[in-house]
Structure 1
Amino acid sequence: MNTVAQIFVGLAGAFHLAVFAMESLLFRKPSTYRRFLIPNRAEAEIAQPWAFNQGFYNLFLALGAFGGLIAGGDKGHAIALFSCACMAGAGIVLVASNPKLARSAVLQAGPPILALVLAASL
């Protein structure tokens, strides 16, 4: 995998690591749960178990991206790119399910899509 693609894999991993922190560690803060379109504390308390679990999905995707980069070689890069494919797919589902979340979907899916395209073309 070329260096530019690796940079986008790293960016994708960093984004998903940040989302893990928001969903699993910081979700009860009003500034955090409102980012997920949850309007008040009562609804945030209901959504918190879902968010906690979802955060770990994002952590594992980030670890796949970073771990694949660290491992290197064909197998490591395959792991990193598989993680990126999952991230890209989730971003596409996000915007398809709620167009109001297009900005979030671009942040989620943009870097991994670029990593996949760059890895395939260079």
Structure 2
Amino acid sequence: MLLILGSVFAALAALVHVYIFVLESVRWTHPSTRRIFGTSAEDAQVTKPLAFNQGFYNLFLAVIAVAGIVVALAGSAGAGIALMLAGTGSMLAAALVLILSDSSKARAATVQGLFPLVAVVLLVVALI
């Protein structure tokens, strides 16, 4: 049961990170995305290459978590949990770095880190 719940939260975390990928790598200079991140048109244009790269990091973390779900569902629970923990643990670590580097980003860090946190806790308990 804990593996299933952990997988659900890993999937939710992956979906959030795919959304972040779209914002950062595809829609970075769009007005609605600039409002979300609080950037001007000029700043968005200058930081576009950095955001593009960062978005792919988020996508890759989502892919790792989803790969773990698939592997676990295919019958290799240990390997699947390891992959899910690699993806969601990295997501959680990134959320912690965000809030520690800029406390005004607490809401964004919560959005980025809540599902991974729950997934990590559930998956670690599933291992015990």
TM-score by length of 1: 0.94
Query: 1:121 is matched with which residue: 91, 103, 125?
Result: 125
Query: 1:88 is matched with which residue: 79, 85, 92?
Result: 92
Gaps of 5+ in 1: none
- Please name the residue that 1:109 is paired with: 113
Question: What's the RMSD between the two structures over aligned residues?
Answer: 1.1
Whether contact under 8 Å (2:6, 2:123) holds in the other structure is yes
Give matches, 1:48-59, under 5 Å: 48-59=48-59
- Please name the residue that 1:25 is paired with: 26
Aligned residues, how many? 121
Per-residue CA deviations over 1:19-56 (Å, capped at 9, x if unaligned) read 00000011110110231221x11111001000000000
TM-score by length of 2: 0.90
Gaps of 5+ in 2: none
Per-residue CA deviations over 1:38-90 (Å, capped at 9, x if unaligned) read 1x111110010000000000000000011110111211220111111100000
Taking only the aligned residue pairs, the percentage that are identical comes to: 36
Structure 1 runs of 4+ with >3 Å offset: none
Secondary structure in structure 1 of the residue aligned to 2:29: coil
